[in-house]
Amino acid sequence: MSAIARLFDPMVRLLMLALLLAIVFPVPESHEAIGQLVANGAVFFLFLLNGLRLPRDQVLRGVRDWRFHGALALWVFGAMLLGGWGLWQATGLIIPPLLALGFLYLGALPSTVQSATVYTSIANGNVAHAVVAAALLNVLGVFLSAPLFALFAGGESVPFDTSVLVRIAVILLLPFAIGQVLQPRFGELATKNPALTKWTDRIPIALAVYVAMSAAVNEDIWRNINGVEWTLMLAGVLAFLAYANVGSWLAGAALGLDRKDRIAYLFGGSQKSLAMGAPLATILFDPAMAGIILLPLLVYHFLQLVLAAPLASQLAQPGPG
């Protein structure tokens, strides 16, 4: 699949539409609370679907292969988090503080489920490892991303109190737990009917982005971030993308993984989940803050698709690890 084709992926098109609508027709400030409520309801449904679609045996298989999945979790929630922290520190004095904080937020997120698996398959990697790893990392992300981000950001930058924990529990953990309880009975409905879930797992993400970016537009994001700062942010995202891909590939080699496992490790370790990041941002931050903090993640999401397609095609060619 070509990079150009991935740019026109339905999810990418939907995100572009959400951003365009937020710029042209943002949620009025007087209705931001209603918009947030609608977005939260959509996120609740998204995590209910995630719970329904994740078979429990996948989690059990992943736990057994602790060497691969444990090392990948340490990379994603350790090395990638530290990389985001470093970029936050490096850019904090030259771009707006909230925009710089977005790099730390980016580093704290788990990898994607769909694209990490798809690109592993294209590259002839270990698809079974990729599927289990993506599922495990996203489950861990529900529990780890927010507290790790708050810990590194500091209490003054990101208040992480009981009310935040309650919102995470009610909007993310509760529906996921309900989905897992119902999975044996209704899981097949969610996994065997792609037409049913094709848009239901995309629209909540787009809604979360639309609500957050609307608030940022209402706060006059264009006046608060100038052209030079946009350019510096883009340079930071490119640096983080290079760090993620080169670092995860070398880490796989250091672990002594074979080529198929290294490919799964690469895409599991370098892709970042907008499906987790956008909903979580609307829970952690005020909408205007969320819109700015999400910007590095949104740019990273687009660029990782551009890079991953030709990279997967290249890795699919026989060659030395």
For 93-129, the pLDDT digits (tens) are: 899 999 999 999 999 998 876 677 778 877 888 877 7
> Minimal CA–CA distance to 265: which of 131, 138, 112, 130?
130
Residue 76 lies in a domain: yes
Structural domain boundaries, residue 19 = 3-315
Residue 148 lies in a domain: yes
- 82-91 long-range contacts (CB < 8 A, ≥24 apart) are 82/107, 83/107, 83/240, 83/243, 83/244, 83/247, 84/108, 84/240, 85/152, 87/236, 87/239, 87/240, 90/236, 91/232, 91/233, 91/236
Average pLDDT of the residues in 59-81: 82
Question: Into how many domains does the chain fold?
Answer: 1
CA 141 to chain centre: 9
Q: How confident is the model at residue 233 (pLDDT cuts 50, 70, 90)?
A: very high
Q: How confident is the model at residue 62 (pLDDT cuts 50, 70, 90)?
A: low
Looking at per-residue confidence, does 89 or 53 come out higher?
Answer: 89
> Minimal CA–CA distance to 99: which of 301, 304, 302, 296?
296
Residue 74 lies in a domain: yes
* Predicted pLDDT at 85: 96
> Minimal CA–CA distance to 59: which of 44, 109, 257, 51?
51
Residue 321 lies in a domain: no
Residue 320 lies in a domain: no
For 133-176, the pLDDT digits (tens) are: 877 888 888 888 988 998 898 865 565 566 666 777 777 778 87
Residue 303 lies in a domain: yes
CA distance 301 to 82: 19
Residue 52 lies in a domain: yes
Two tokens at 201?
A: 């797992």
CA distance 275 to 110: 10
Give per-residue burial for 12-28: e unless 16+ CB within 10 Å, then b: eebbeebbebbeeebbe
Looking at per-residue confidence, does 88 or 202 come out higher?
Answer: 88
H runs (alpha helix) in the chain: 3-7, 10-24, 32-53, 56-64, 66-74, 80-91, 97-108, 114-122, 127-153, 162-168, 174-191, 194-197, 203-218, 221-224, 227-254, 259-270, 274-284, 287-293, 295-315
CA distance 77 to 107: 8
Average pLDDT of the residues in 197-209: 72
**What is the CATH classification number for the domain harbouring 132?**
1.20.1530.20
Residue 146 lies in a domain: yes
